[in-house]
Amino acid sequence: MENANRRLAAIQRTLAAAGSWRRILVLPDGARIDVAEAKDTTQIAMDGAVIGSFRTLPRSLALVISAVGTPHEKTATHVPKFPLLELRPPTPGASFTIADFWVLIYTLHTLFHAQETIPIVLSPEIKNVPELDEYLLTSGLARKRHTLPDDTSSAAEPEYFLPREMFWQGAGTTSYHTRGWLQGQAARLAAGPFPYTQSFTRTSLVIAAHPLRPPKPRQGEVLYRRYIPSLGQMVEFAHFDLDGVSGPLVECEGEQVSLHLATFHRWHNSDHVNRGWGERGPLSKHREYVSGLMADPGVVPVMMSWDGELMGYSEMVYIKENHVAPYVPGGAWDYDRGLHVLVGEEKFRGIHRSLGWFTAIHHLLFLSDLRTERVIGEPKAVNAAVIKLSEAAHMNVQTIFDFPYKRSVITWLPRERFFKYDVLSFVEDKDIAAHK
């Protein structure tokens, strides 16, 4: 078996050198996912070793739901049909680990991101089909053909549907393996939502009853990591490291401070950030600003990076104890979240790159707590760039209102809409070859 594995690895290296493989994904743990297409089969490799494959069968299926049991059931042509795929093991008779099987599903949702569903069957060559069946259906990664309550016939059928919206909600990740996008405390909280008990906030701007919020992550702890295929880079969000506990100190205004604080200070003294935030000032001002946020249970300040290079900053807030709450039409809900964001590095500006991190941070907010049904923004009414970015992420402008110091709009992103649309998948660059 060892000799066979070495021969397989040698063949894969030869194919890669010939340009047959192309990079599709890099997982949050750094593993590289490549695909090679030959005849009717597409192989999927992780760090140079084939973990599975799929082929397209000569059938297409539609996931018909509301028309079932009506005269329209057989004529619901408005529901799109998609080709049926057969998922196969790396070698006949092999088993999939749950973690590797999720990688296979992730690859499919990247390749076929425009599809609402991906119909699949599991090859009889897979040794652990019953285990994978339980994983698919129990985790919510897959569902069977829809039937009426007294019809159980679909349970015995081999076909599954992989809904895009269920995959991006984190189905099959937390509590199953550690390859998902959430990291550290964020992953732990998603595995078991923080229990409810009432708390209260009283400040000069806010008087509100609301749920007790979870403790803050450790300073510098990574919360989320995801590869954006169209950019070929990993976006990462980490809790602000105010005291330099997670990395080396750097010099700033004659002091040794954390890289996060020094970078935050530099950004706020740039003209383009100051125009939007108005927080230009000395290091002491910015240290005090961040210290206040670190002490506030209703705000999580994060630094954003591309492939480890810091590029921006965000404040993830709970709306109910935020000063915008009185302006939310219909009132704020217990688990509404909001954002204040800035891109500090000029080279990381631009609509496509901004859409990458902007949708990713909304993804983090929705994954962090299943009870979060909305993310709400309040950009200045004259900030056309942020409003355009919000609309590109499928937010809508809900209303316009006046703070005492500025006119703003309420932007609104419901959970259902975010996951329903093809928001998170960026089409891969087919011209980028794999590098193994």
Backbone angles phi, psi at 94, to 5 degrees: -85, 160
List of residues 6+ apart from 329 with CB closer than 8 A:
398, 399, 410
CB-CB contact of 136 with 160 (8 Å): yes
Instruction: Give me the helices (H) in 112-163, please.
Output: 129-139
What is the spatial distance between Cα 436 and Cα 433, in angstroms, rounded to a whole number?
10
Residue 163 tokens, joined: 């809904």
- Of these residues, 378, 391, 416, 428, which one is catalytic? 378
List helix spans (H) across 315-409.
351-368, 384-392
Q: What is the DSSP letter of 417?
A: H
Which run of H or E residues covers position 294?
Answer: helix 283-294
Q: What does DSSP say about strands 198-202 and 160-163: parallel, antiparallel, or unpaired? A: unpaired
Measured distance CA(385)–CA(343) in Å, rounded: 12
Short-list 10, 35, 21, 13, CA closest to 104 = 35
Give the length of the chain.
Answer: 436
Q: Is 378 a catalytic residue?
A: yes
Taking alpha carbons only, the member of 76, 21, 141, 146 closest to residue 434 is 21
Other beta carbons less than 10 A from residue 203's beta carbon: 11
82 close to 161: Cβ distance less than 8 angstroms: no
Q: Which amino acid is at 128?
A: N
Instruction: For residue 263, give both structure tokens.
Output: 């970078």
Question: 304 near 184, Cβ under 8 Å?
Answer: no
Q: Which residue numbers are catalytic?
A: 378
